[in-house]
Structure 1
Amino acid sequence: MTVLDAVLITLTGLAAGTINTVVGSGSLITFPALLALGYPPLVANVSNNIGLVPGGVSGAWGYRRELAGMRPLLLRLVPWSAAGGLLGAVLLLVLPTSVFDAVVVVLIGIALVLVLVQPRLSVRLRGRGPLAAPSRGRAAALSLGLFAASVYGGYFGAAQGVVYVALLSLLLIDDLQVANGVKNVLATVVNGVAAVTFILFAHPDWAVVGCIALGSTLGGVLGARMGRRLSPAVLRGVIVVVGVAAIVNIVLR
């Protein structure tokens, strides 16, 4: 790794940590950047996942005020996220690399669609009154939805936070800022479980991990403190541009 590469990866980690805390699509910044620098997709994915964990922790800590009183809910939801993240990480390791090369384009495409439709969903949800205690059906749908989203998160992860916020807002939490705080915790759990799996059974590039970890930790702090002042439209625009560039890069590679 050259000095220039280290600086670029750290800066992308900073951007990803900030975006993950505010929106939840930071891997659409770091993953294609690593591909552009010549790292194989699987190495880029596992190294990116491990490096983003510290940023998730700092971002979740930054939202601690919104998380006041959410401990009972988190205790119910975290096991579903952890189980899904573990399954997703295992699938990434046991499936042939060629499968990941083919599927990742579809995953990025789905992630971009989720990012684009988030504003419409948020507007609809803001106009709804507070939800009562969830019914059994709604609670089951939330648990299964979070599990499925966490499998995706452990496998690839870009825009998993968007899925979490949508599920939480649709089925349980009316306050989107509180939903975002819960999202930060759940996404960090998924990435953490996947990271442990990758450390034990995969071969991450530790120089990449260190650069992304440094950048994402600072980005998590910035995202929690300054993210609400940034234009969501600008953030989504950056994510879409980088995501499309990633798809083009993978297809042409």
Structure 2
Amino acid sequence: MDVVEAAAIGAAGIAAGGMNAVVGSGTLITFPTLLAFGYPPVLANVSNNVGLVPGVLSAAYGYRRELRGQRRRLLRFGAASLLGGFVGAVLLLRLPDAAFRAIVPVLILTACVLVLLQPRLNRWMKRRQRAGSRADGGVPMWLGVLGTGVYGGYFGAAQGVLLMGMFGAVLRDDLQRLNAAKNVLASLVNGVAAIVFIAVADIDWTVAALIAAGSTAGGLAGARLGRRLPPAAMRGVIVTVGVTASALLIARS
């Protein structure tokens, strides 16, 4: 690895860490960068996942104020994220990715629609909640987080968009608090997948270290920026990233 390659991978890590803190989809920066330098797809995906773990942890730390009062939610959905991340990591190592990748753009675009409709959906949900519906989304929401965790453990790009789409459509809470919860759940998914990869897969540790250093700095910076965004602007960022992610994934399939 020469200096130019190391600098490019580190810079991609910084950008990915910042994007993950605000909305997710940082993998769409680091993963193509690694492919451009000739890394095999599975090795690139595994090394990228391990490298991004410190970044999502730093983003979760940066949003620690918004995590207050969410312990019950995080415990409930955290179990789904851990299980999903483990299953997704195993699938990555056992199955071809063509079929799963084919449906990912549809999932991301659906999440973007949910984000755009969030204010109207929240008003509808408030009426349902006054009628006795569950504020945590019940079993369907838990299964949705589980499914997102499977996807996140398998590839990871835009799992934050999917989570924020579901959260914004169903949960009664401020968007910044939901984004903080998203960062914690993403760190659980990436963390458990990284443990699986470290145990049984080949990892390029130089690549992982460069991405880890960059994503940690980017995650802290992104958390500060994301907190200052008004809800409308944040929805705009989420939708822009989601549509871009879908276009990139369709182009690669």
TM-score scaled by length of structure 1: 0.85
Local SS of the residue matching 2:64: coil
Shift in CA distance, 9/244, structure 1 to aligned 2, threshold 3 Å:
farther
Equivalent residues of 1:111, 1:159 under 8 A apart: no
Aligned ranges 1:15-30 → 2 under 5 Å:
15-30=15-30
Residue aligning to 1:178: 177
Q: Whole-Å Cα distance in 2 between the matches of residues 86 and 113 of structure 1?
A: 25
One-letter code of the match for 1:10?
Answer: G
The one of 117, 123, 147 aligned to 1:121? 117
Local SS of the residue matching 2:65: coil
Question: Is there any run of 5+ residues in structure 2 with no aligned partner, and where?
Answer: none
Say how many residue pairs are matched. Answer: 246
One-letter code of the match for 2:217?
Answer: L
One-letter code of the match for 2:183?
Answer: N
Residue aligning to 1:14: 14
Q: Whole-Å Cα distance in 2 between the matches of residues 209 and 118 of structure 1?
A: 33
Local SS of the residue matching 1:38: coil
Residue aligning to 1:139: 138
Residue aligning to 1:207: 206
- C-alpha displacement at 1:185, in angstroms? 0.2
RMSD between superposed Cα atoms in Å: 2.7
122-131 vs 198-207, which deviates more?
A: 122-131
Residue aligning to 1:92: 92
Q: Whole-Å Cα distance in 2 between the matches of residues 60 and 127 of structure 1?
A: 28
Residue aligning to 2:155: 156
Q: Whole-Å Cα distance in 1 between the matches of residues 146 and 176 of structure 2?
A: 22
The answer as to 2:32 corresponding to 1:36 is no
Equivalent residues of 1:114, 1:159 under 8 A apart: no
Aligned ranges 1:211-226 → 2 under 5 Å:
211-226=210-225
Deviation track 1:229-250 (CA, whole Å, cap 9, x = no partner) reads 56655676577557645654x4
- C-alpha displacement at 1:72, in angstroms? 1.9
> How many percent of aligned residue pairs carry the same amino acid?
49
- C-alpha displacement at 1:56, in angstroms? 0.6
Q: Whole-Å Cα distance in 1 between the matches of residues 94 and 47 of structure 2?
A: 17
- C-alpha displacement at 1:8, in angstroms? 0.5
108-117 vs 64-73, which deviates more?
A: 108-117
Local SS of the residue matching 1:66: helix
Shift in CA distance, 28/124, structure 1 to aligned 2, threshold 3 Å:
farther
- C-alpha displacement at 1:118, in angstroms? 5.7
- C-alpha displacement at 1:88, in angstroms? 0.4
- C-alpha displacement at 1:51, in angstroms? 0.5
